[in-house]
């Protein structure tokens, strides 16, 4: 939880919504749900990748996977 807290409130919101989508999610869906610019969301998700909370798919661009099952998931 500390790693998530360090990312800030916008990243926490994005990750919370992504967790509802599932362990794997597409950035396009998250952009639509959050109504946020894709560039801004990518910045937030890159922070989560750097914190080892997410992995970006090497097989499919724009797809991310939680490194651990999301809470409640």
Listed by start position, the domains of the chain span 2-66
Mean pLDDT of all residues in the chain? 90
Here the tokens at position 10 are 């916008």
Q: Within a 10 A sphere around the Cβ of 27, how many other Cβ atoms?
A: 17
Rg (CA), the chain: 11
pTM for the model: 0.85
User: For the chain, which residues score pLDDT lower than 70?
Assistant: 1, 69-73
pLDDT at 3: 74
CATH class of the domain whose range is 2-66: mainly alpha
d(CA 2, CA 29): 26
Query: Which residues in 23-62 belong to E strands, given as ranges?
Result: 24-26, 54-56
- Of the candidates 10, 23, 28, 29, which has an alpha carbon nearest to the alpha carbon of residue 66? 23
pLDDT at 73: 47
Per this entry, what is the length of the chain? 73
């Amino acid at each position: 939880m500390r790693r998530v807290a360090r990312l800030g409130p916008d990243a926490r919101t994005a990750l919370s919504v992504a967790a509802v989508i599932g362990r794997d999610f597409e950035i396009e869906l998250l952009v639509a749900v959050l109504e946020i610019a894709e560039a801004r969301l990518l910045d937030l998700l890159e922070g989560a990748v750097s914190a080892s909370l997410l992995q970006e798919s090497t097989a499919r661009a724009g797809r991310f996977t939680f490194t651990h099952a999301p809470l409640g998931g």
